Amino acid sequence: MTTHEVHLKARLIGGVLVVQEFAFLCARAVAGLAYIPRHIRETILQIDRIGVGSLFIVVLTGMFTGMVLALQGAVQLEPYGATIYVSRLISTSVVRELGPVLAALMIAGRVGSGIASELASMQVTEQIDALRAEGTDPIQKLVTTRLVACVLMIPVLTIITNGVAIFGGWLIARLYLGIDSYFYWTWAFEALAPRDMFVGLVKPAVFGFLIAMVGCYAGLNTKGGTVGVGISTTQSMVSSSILILSCDFFLTKLFMAFP
Amino acid sequence: MITLTDVWLTLGERQVLKEISLSVPAGETKVILGGSGSGKTTILRVILGLYRPDRGSLLIDGQDITATRERNLTEVRQRMAMVFQGAALFDSLTVRENVGYRLWEQGRLSDAMIEKSVRDSLQFVGLEYAIDKMPAELSGGMKKRVGIARALASGARIILYDEPTAGLDPINTCMISRLIQLLKSKGVTQVVVTHDLATAYRVADRIVMIHKGRMIFEGNPKELQSSADPDIRSFLEPDGQCFDSEAFAASEIGEP
């Protein structure tokens, strides 16, 4: 076996081990749900940090996404004289795809990297070991609580993003395109089916799971000092963004398979 | 009582502990001496169940915990407390919350009783006035003392110290040594890992010396001082090795 092949084999084995460790951490975090009442204070704290703390960025994300969709949509629909249907385009694209994905990407940047850097700092300053020494399971205390907070709050934040985006679209439609409010809101809601709402809520819950688990995994596996903290934070951001985008594709395909 | 018998441990590719057998009877203060990277801290981590030995056995108060699963170690760990090298205080919690952490987590005592225990422990280490401070507001010596207060408040009868005086000025070093002596007089079983000889002589009932992961000495401080073992002599009197060019070149400084 050549050196190159040995190196490749080692990397492959390393990759498989990472997946195995990640799956194991996920299983332990989910099993920790049974002990969530014991860590209710920490869970509420995380819900506040993740939910309320991210409100500002998701409102901004939603507002500008809706506004830009209205502008671009109007340009595309104008040749067909269908500008008044711009709200259909906004509501369906936001609720089905853009709302969940953009909100999740913004939250991955703010929350996921925050989780990774916090846990990484705790790891390099021996606070994780101190938790274990105090008889506390760090997975239950740190991972499960953040997992619950993300899975509960990211769908809520996504609903807010969607609402603000449709509102932002209305501002442009009303003030810039001169579309009547009645037509805007009627077409916006008529275009949405209950299935869209369901898909639009399942996706953020899955993304919340990924953001929390990737952040926790990166943080808990930090090695080295402050350099390690930086590496974990970056890894968490990059990995969760890629996972969110790829998972979005597979979830969309999955839901399309069940019309 | 802590008993390690023929403990071997590998971390990654490296054999960190080899054939470690030591016993710490109840109420004794045992100091583990050794150079940096010799495996001293690893022994504490094995005792605490943070590392599982490849071979050998670990008994805490007669209970074999070598193969005990992580989830069942909680009860055993609650009999012990550890003072970490960097104190490892939870930086999102106040000194009060750090010291009373275990008691609040256990939920067995009322808030008033926990508060009393926290204040008593902080008073013992002379830091009651810092009860509402955050760890970031404390000096290195204060952090270590809060770490000791946390161990004390937990009610543990076994306390493990990882380099309790590392990086401290002589006054703080002396203060920490005094606290360890006071706890010894209260009958607490203590294991102190250090490379500071003055601290070791001050607090030790017995001393164990580790070199390259292997135990090379066990005895009282006087026996250590009179040992003729070359590795012990070079640790106790490093000047000869540092300032003799040939000895320095032949030394293992820089080796993993």
ipTM: 0.83
The chain-wide mean pLDDT, for chain A, equals 92
For residue B2, list its beta bridge partners. Answer: B24, B60
CATH topology of domain B1-79+157-166+177-226: Rossmann fold (3.40.50)
A237 pLDDT exceeds 90? yes
User: Which residues have C-beta within 8 Å of that of residue A176, sequence separation ≥ 6?
Assistant: A70, A71
Pairs of CB atoms within 8 A across A/B: 51
Phi-psi region of B239 (alpha: psi -120 to 50; beta: other; left: phi over 0): alpha
Classify burial at A70, counting beta carbons within 10 Å of its beta carbon; exposed 0-12, middle 13-18, buried 19 or more. Answer: buried
Q: Where are the alpha helices (DSSP H) in A78-180?
A: 86-93, 99-107, 113-124, 127-133, 138, 145-175
Q: B191 and B24 in contact (C-beta within 8 Å)? A: yes
| pLDDT digit string, tens, across residues A96-154 | 999 999 999 999 999 999 999 999 999 999 999 999 988 888 999 999 999 999 999 99
Q: What are A's interface residues with B at a Cβ cutoff of 8 A?
A: 121, 125-127, 129-137
Cβ neighbours of B81 in A, within 8 Å: 133-134
DSSP, collapsed to helix, strand or coil, labels residue A259 as coil
What span, in angstroms and rounded, lies between the C-alpha atoms of B17 and B214? 6
State the nearest Cα–Cα gap between A120 and chain B, in angstroms: 13
Closest Cα in chain A to B156: A134
Mutate: best of B99, B101, B143, partner A, most A CBs <10 A: B101
Mutate: best of B44, B77, B93, B111, partner A, most A CBs <10 A: B77
Side-chain half-sphere exposure of A89, counting CA atoms within 13 A: 21
Q: B1 and B25 in contact (C-beta within 8 Å)? A: yes
Q: Where are the alpha helices (DSSP H) in B128-244?
A: 140-153, 170-185, 197-203, 221-225, 230-236, 239-243
Closest Cα in chain B to A45: B92
What DSSP state is assigned to residue A81?
Answer: T
Q: Which of B157, B222, B150 is nearest to B189 (CA)?
A: B157
The amino acid present at B95, given as its one-letter code, is V
| pLDDT digit string, tens, across residues B48-80 | 988 999 999 999 988 888 888 877 888 888 889
Mark yes or no for CB contact B77/A130 under 8 Å: no
pLDDT at site B247: 60
A21 pLDDT exceeds 50? yes
Mark yes or no for CB contact B74/A137 under 8 Å: yes
State the nearest Cα–Cα gap between A136 and chain B, in angstroms: 7
| pLDDT digit string, tens, across residues A68-101 | 999 999 999 888 888 888 999 999 999 999 999 9
| pLDDT digit string, tens, across residues B202-236 | 999 999 999 999 999 999 999 988 888 888 888 88
CA–CA–CA angle B168, B169, B175 (5° rounding): 80
Mark yes or no for CB contact B91/A125 under 8 Å: yes
* CATH 3.40.50.300 residue ranges for chain B: 1-79+157-166+177-226
Mark yes or no for CB contact B88/A125 under 8 Å: yes
Classify burial at B245, counting beta carbons within 10 Å of its beta carbon; exposed 0-12, middle 13-18, buried 19 or more. Answer: exposed
